[in-house]
């Protein structure tokens, strides 16, 4: 069974966190994740990961691809092909090239929740989880370059309405006029048509790193052994 465990590219960062002590092979984060993987395999239960951030990411994926295409002046179409090798599996969002297995460039689209989280990414450094996700895609596709593209697009109305409802729920005694002004402000905080498109995309370019891909392979082997030994698979 251990050979059948394929790890998702989006979760590779959890495998690659370093343990606090050098005597440990795997970190606590990794072990927790591997337990979740085992539960999924054995009992078919997965930890529910749903949030407003996740919901916007799904709902606005195509809008973000459009924004990225406009800014880079290159038409991208959503990829639907799932890829897998002996170690990992993943579905890159988009790619440049005549076929996914002949891709030259594999960017991944991340839709920011709002302008504040967008700027947090823009002014910060590339998150390690994203780095490993892209190395996974580069491993699967054979591409030399990838990227993480943070995109700021309008939030769907139903999510803005939820934000307004939450706000009203938390402020039951607020006067009508004041409330109306604040609700308008909430609306404005989630729409970005007035901001130039070039200001709404931030791209971290990532080069393929074969040494890191080898590290991924080795770590996956360790993880498989851990699952096998811990859960007697």
Partner 1 sequence: MSNVEVYQRKLPSLNDIYADVDGTTKNTALAVILNAEPPQNWIKIHPMTKFKYIPIERVEYLLTRIFGRWKVEVKESGILANSVQVIIRLHYIDPVTGEWDWQDGIGASPLQTNAGAGAIDFNQIKNAAVQMAAPAAESYAIKDAAEKMGKIFGKDLNRKDEINYQDLNENNSKRFKELERVQVMIEDAKNVTELENLRKYVTDDTNNQFTLKYKEVLNAK
Q: Pick the stretch among 66-74, 114-122, 132-140, 207-215 that binds partner 1 (CB under 8 A).
A: 66-74
User: At closest approach, how far in Å is the CB of 89 from partner 1?
Assistant: 21
Q: How far apart are CA 112 and CA 56, in angstroms?
A: 8
70 binds partner 1 (CB under 8 A): yes
Q: Which of 18, 53, 54, 75 binds partner 1 (CB under 8 A)?
A: 75
Letters for 176-205 (x = contact with partner 1 by CB under 8 A, - = none) are: -----------------x------------
Closer of 61 and 108 to partner 1 (Cβ): 61
Q: Which of 10, 66, 79, 209 binds partner 1 (CB under 8 A)?
A: 66
Q: Which residues contact 1 (CB under 8 A, 6 or more apart)?
A: 41, 228, 233
User: At closest approach, how far in Å is the CB of 124 from partner 1?
Assistant: 26
Q: How far apart are CA 76 and CA 79, in angstroms?
A: 9
| Alpha helix positions (H), 86-189 | 115-123, 128-141, 157-170, 176-189
CB 81, CB 91: distance < 8 Å:
yes
69 binds partner 1 (CB under 8 A): yes
78 binds partner 1 (CB under 8 A): yes
User: At closest approach, how far in Å is the CB of 37 from partner 1?
Assistant: 28
Q: Which of 10, 79, 154, 209 binds partner 1 (CB under 8 A)?
A: 154
Q: First and final CA of the chain: distance in angstroms? A: 7
63 binds partner 1 (CB under 8 A): yes
Closer of 36 and 63 to partner 1 (Cβ): 63
86: helix, coil or strand? coil
Q: Pick the stretch among 63-71, 138-146, 167-175, 211-219 that binds partner 1 (CB under 8 A).
A: 63-71
Q: Which of 65, 83, 88, 206 binds partner 1 (CB under 8 A)?
A: 65
Q: How far apart are CA 74 and CA 96, in angstroms?
A: 9
Question: Phi-psi region for residue 73, left (φ > 0), alpha (ψ -120 to 50) or beta?
Answer: left
**Please, is 137 exposed, middle or buried when counting C-beta atoms within 10 Å of its C-beta (0-12, 13-18, 19+)?**
buried
Beta-bridge partner residues of 84: 89
Residues near partner 1, by CB under 8 A:
62-63, 65-66, 69-70, 73-75, 77-78, 153-154, 193
């Amino acid at each position: 069974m251990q050979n059948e465990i394929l790890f998702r590219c989006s979760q590779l960062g959890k495998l690659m966190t370093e343990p606090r002590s050098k005597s440990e092979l795997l970190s606590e984060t990794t072990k927790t994740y591997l337990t979740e993987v085992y539960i999924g395999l054995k009992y078919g239960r997965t930890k529910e990961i749903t949030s407003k951030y996740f919901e916007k990411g799904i709902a606005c994926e195509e809008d973000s691809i459009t924004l990225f295409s406009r800014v880079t002046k290159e038409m991208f179409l959503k990829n639907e092909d799932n890829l897998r090798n002996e170690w990992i599996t993943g579905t890159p969002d988009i790619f440049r090239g005549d076929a996914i297995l002949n891709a030259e460039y594999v960017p991944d689209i991340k839709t920011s929740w709002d302008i504040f989280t967008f700027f947090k990414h823009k002014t910060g450094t590339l998150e390690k989880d994203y780095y490993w996700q892209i190395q996974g895609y580069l491993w699967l596709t054979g591409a030399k370059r990838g990227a993480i593209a943070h995109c700021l697009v309008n939030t769907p109305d139903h999510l803005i309405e939820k934000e307004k409802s939450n706000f009203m729920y938390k402020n039951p005694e607020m006067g009508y006029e004041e409330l109306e002004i604040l609700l308008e402000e909430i609306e404005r905080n989630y729409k970005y048509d007035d901001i130039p498109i070039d200001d709404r995309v931030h791209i971290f370019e990532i080069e393929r790193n074969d040494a890191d891909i080898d590290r991924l392979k080795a770590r996956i082997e360790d993880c498989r052994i851990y699952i096998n030994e811990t859960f007697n698979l």
